[in-house]
Amino acid sequence: MASSPPGSPTDDENPKPDSNHTDPNPTAIDALARQIQESLAVGNRHRFWETQPVGQFKDLGDSSLPEGPIEAPTPLSEVKPEPYNLPSLYEWSTCDMDDEGTCAEVYALLTNNYVEDDENMFRFNYSKEFLRWALRPPGYFRSWHIGVRVKASRKLVAFITGVPARIRVREDVVLMAEINFLCVHKKLRSKRLAPVMIKEVTRRVHLENIWQAAYTAGIVLPTPVATCRYWHRSLNPKKLIDVGFSRLGPRMTMSRTIRLYKLPDSTTTPGFRKMEANDVAAVTRLLREYLGQFAVAPDFDEHDVEHWLLPQENVIDSFLVESPETHEITDFCSFYTLPSSILNNPNYSLLKAAYSYYNVSMKTPLLQLMNDMLIVAKQKDYDVFNALDVMQNESFLKELKFGPGDGQLHYYLYNYRIRNALKPAELGLVLL
């Protein structure tokens, strides 16, 4: 079990270790890496990654190596024009997330087969609305939403995706791919579909003349550009303890625990309100100014802000502070919704989790802003609020009674070198 963070209530109940709620962003790279690590002898563990254009452990801190792309782009004429071969019973299928039937198939595949915690108690339950939001940002490529079907039955049995993103690294804005949602049906895990799916999505990314990627993983590979931790704030401690997400702390009763995590009934910041469509321009300016201080951050324009941050019920919630006197937008905060199915519990079937997204504190103290957001999440019946220690988040975690998860989340850049690992506070990027 995790121990309580220094300076937080020692009677805190703590998240279960090594579960998907302690590393809530397993990506395609994570899943592939685990397969590769498990299949190799210890001495060969990193040989695969040593063949890839990623930062290598042996080069750490070598000031003679330039930051930036590791390999130059290949001429597009040399990118393999046809898809990689699948086993004979299967075929590639481009998944149109606008189509209700296809979206339902993807939802069913992920809901029943995506990442579970080690003890098979929780499994991510991405909603169809969330999947459409995550996979259709401005400029997305439908060809990067890749399915594998059984030829005879047309059943969807595997899935992988990429979306394009503009990521600023130091002074340079780089077009990258974010890879996600690698999922293979449980009964086909021995077919070695994952590696060929990774190669296929990489091929399709290269066909669009994109040569870099950003991704996260719960394990150490060559070479993290930053290592972060998720922290968890109980909103419904009784339910979290009942379903096994948390445990009752030593010397704590349930009633004391409930009192410990009790929040005010209403927000306290004057002018705190939900974001609306006509706020997009102001929020974009605020966000761009704020994110400029971090070494790695998204390069958002108004189209991106409209897509990623305009509220959608049970997908993304965004709030801002509008000065009652000047009507200036001074602060902004947001969280996305990613529930987990609760497996084999007679009383509960869903854990409703909020994940801190982008927060900008200019006039309102961040501690106060985040406390108001916790109050809103509690009003909306969320069970737990999760936040990474990126950006300035560390300044509020302990005081607002977040407890640390056991798993670490490592950030990686593919085909892009950063000489020295960044501290979490230097990172302005949150990947779904």
CA distance 328 to 314: 28
- Structure tokens, 430: 């949150």
Q: Do residues 418 and 55 lie in contact, with contact meaning Cβ atoms separated by under 8 Å?
A: yes
- Residue for token pair 């809530």: 24
Q: How many residues does the chain have?
A: 432
Selection from 233, 364, 375 nearest residue 317 by Cα: 375
SS (H, E, C) 101-119: HHHHHHHHHHHHHCCECCC
**Among this protein's residues, is 432 annotated catalytic?**
yes
Reported as half-sphere exposure (CB side, CA atoms, 13 A), residue 361 has a value of: 16
Measured in whole angstroms, how far is the alpha carbon of residue 246 from the centre of its chain? Answer: 21
Classify 240 as helix, strand or coil. Answer: helix
- Structure tokens, 264: 């005010």
Q: Cα dihedral angle (260, 262, 263, 265), rounded to 10 degrees?
A: -160
Residue of 240, 309, 366, 432 marked catalytic: 432
Residue 116, Cβ density class (10 Å: 0-12 exposed, 13-18 middle, ≥19 buried): middle
What are the strands, taking DSSP E only, across 25-126? 90-94, 122-124
Q: Cα dihedral angle (216, 305, 181, 19), rounded to 10 degrees?
A: 60
Selection from 178, 57, 213 nearest residue 432 by Cα: 178
Q: Do residues 29 and 195 lie in contact, with contact meaning Cβ atoms separated by under 8 Å?
A: no
Q: Other CB atoms closer than 10 Å to residue 229's CB: what's the count?
A: 20
Reported as half-sphere exposure (CB side, CA atoms, 13 A), residue 64 has a value of: 2
Residue 432, Cβ density class (10 Å: 0-12 exposed, 13-18 middle, ≥19 buried): buried
In sequence order, what are the residues at sequence separation of 6 or more whose Cβ sits closer than 8 angstroms to the Cβ of residue 82?
none
Which stretch of DSSP H or E encloses residue 410? strand 403-414
Single-letter residue type at 363: K
Sign of the four-CA dihedral 266, 269, 270, 274:
negative
Catalytic site positions = 432
